[in-house]
Amino acid sequence: MKNILLSIVLIALAIGCSSSDNSETNNTSKGYDRNAILSNWADNIIIPAYENYTAKVTILSDKAAALTAAADEGKLAEVRAAWLEAYIAYQYVAMYDIGKATELYLKQSANTYPTDVAAIQANITSGNYNFNLPSQYSKQGFPALDYLLNGQGNDSQTVSFLSTTNSAAYLNAVINQIKMIATTVTSDWKNSYRNQYVNNNGTSVSSSVNKTTNNFIKNLEKDIRSSKLGIPSGVFSNGTTFANKVEAYYKNDVSRTLLNAGIQAEIDFFNGKTFNSSATGASLKSALDDTNAVRENKNLSNIINDQFQASLVANNALSNSFSQQITSDNTKMLAAYAALQRNVVYLKVDMMQALNITIDYVDGDGD
């Protein structure tokens, strides 16, 4: 607890001491090239990740259409596999909450969990729902698909459930909403938004580097550290755990897979790694190296990368089922949370100060 309180103090000091430059004309800041970073992010990381996500969702859509046309256990297995592949692909775009993704609430509609089972059942019964409404976020996305595909009993019972008209329609509607948003966001990036994003190369809080870096840290802090680990393990509820609030609760053996995918996406982005390639380009790591950023006489980028690896090591001690892990030995969940928390401090305090980037969101977790 003392370490967590210290983190709060450090973060507060960083927010209070950091400054922003409202200029939108400077292409360099404190020795790093924002143009090069933005071009690498857009062309080699973000757009390819969205293309991959859209492709995986399209496969899921096709498999689901075949299943609901004539349901059987073989087709069910194919849809489940496609669901997991698309869910993993989502982890690689989750941090890019900018542009059309923000406008269309991609994150909220794709991965609000725990899913609202009672409301999903009511939607299926009524056949009347509008997924564009914020009240419907917990009734759609990958968590809703988890319930529909994995929460209906054995395979035979699931096939029977998805053979009914309303259930089949709901499954396809949920997937079509994911696909529509993914397709729209990807198309926007590949058309006008790419240049708009790269040309917004200044240093204000609304510039692309600042917004993207904030989203990178926020995704790690809120969506990975807190949602995947902290909330279910009781970090924010005085030790009261919630085994039913883990990601992919109904599949119940892929929560660690999704956690590691989310962290790997963060690692790759930090290092400027090209999507589906070992090549690297201008990045937050290179910016820290260009500015000679250090902490306790050590290269800050190396400290951050080492801590990411420490998180993966801590994760390897976890069960594939986080709900079972919480029940059997929650201390390992807390250890994985603590490993991520250390990097939140390195990134949110040390890195942001070194790169002269202002935090643009408030942490309300009480941690």
* DSSP string computed for 235-301: TTTTT---GGGSTTTTT-S-HHHHHHHHHHHHHHHHHTBPTTSS-B-S-HHHHHHHTT-EETTEEHH
Q: What is the pLDDT of residue 122?
A: 98
For residue 172, the domain's CATH number is: 1.20.1420.20
Q: CA 322 → CA 117, 158, 225, 319, distances in Å?
A: 19, 23, 14, 6
Residues 127 and 55 reside in one and the same domain: yes
Last-in-domain residue among 165, 181, 201? 201
Work out the average pLDDT over 200-211.
97
Instruction: Indicate whether 41 belongs to any domain.
Output: no
Give the least confident one: 15-29, 34-48, 124-138, 267-281. 15-29
Residues 307 and 180 reside in one and the same domain: no
Q: How many of the other CB atoms lie within 10 Å of CB of 245?
A: 18
Instruction: Indicate whether 295 belongs to any domain.
Output: yes
Residues 174 and 245 reside in one and the same domain: no
Task: Specify the amino acid at residue 91.
Answer: Q
Residue 330: pLDDT band (50, 70, 90) is very high
Q: What is the pLDDT of residue 31?
A: 81
Given a cut of 80, whether residue 364 has pLDDT beyond it is no
Residues 103 and 211 reside in one and the same domain: no
Residues 195 and 213 reside in one and the same domain: no
Q: CA–CA separation, 72 vs 349, rounded Å?
A: 53
Residue 7: pLDDT band (50, 70, 90) is very low
Q: CA 300 → CA 278, 289, 359, distances in Å?
A: 22, 8, 18
Residue 318 burial (C-beta neighbours within 10 Å; 0-12, 13-18, 19+): buried
Domain enclosing residue 115, as ranges: 46-201
Instruction: Indicate whether 261 belongs to any domain.
Output: yes
Instruction: Indicate whether 36 belongs to any domain.
Output: no
Work out the average pLDDT over 285-299.
97
Instruction: Indicate whether 176 belongs to any domain.
Output: yes
Q: What is the pLDDT of residue 365?
A: 55
Residues 6 and 80 reside in one and the same domain: no
CB 366, CB 236: distance < 8 Å: yes
Last-in-domain residue among 150, 172, 201? 201
CB 44, CB 294: distance < 8 Å: no
When divided into structural domains, the chain yields a total of: 2
Residues 263 and 349 reside in one and the same domain: yes
Residues 13 and 53 reside in one and the same domain: no
Q: How many of the other CB atoms lie within 10 Å of CB of 165?
A: 10
CB 292, CB 47: distance < 8 Å: no
Work out the average pLDDT over 176-194.
98
Write the pLDDT tens digit of every residue in 310-328. Answer: 999 999 999 999 999 999 9
Instruction: Indicate whether 180 belongs to any domain.
Output: yes
**CA atoms 287, 289, 290, 293: torsion sign:** positive
Per-residue DSSP letter, 20: -
Instruction: Indicate whether 359 belongs to any domain.
Output: yes
Q: CA–CA separation, 150 vs 76, rounded Å?
A: 10
Residue 21: pLDDT band (50, 70, 90) is very low
Sorted by sequence, the CB contacts under 8 Å of residue 283 that are 6+ apart come out as 37, 40, 41, 269, 270, 271, 272, 273
Q: What is the pLDDT of residue 273?
A: 98
Q: How many of the other CB atoms lie within 10 Å of CB of 147?
A: 21
Residues 138 and 287 reside in one and the same domain: no
Last-in-domain residue among 201, 223, 242? 201
Residues 278 and 355 reside in one and the same domain: yes
CB 348, CB 221: distance < 8 Å: yes
Q: What is the pLDDT of residue 30?
A: 63
Instruction: Indicate whether 238 belongs to any domain.
Output: yes
Residues 224 and 365 reside in one and the same domain: yes
Given a cut of 90, whether residue 329 has pLDDT beyond it is yes
Given a cut of 60, whether residue 286 has pLDDT beyond it is yes
Residues 320 and 229 reside in one and the same domain: yes
Given a cut of 90, whether residue 16 has pLDDT beyond it is no
Work out the average pLDDT over 85-96.
98
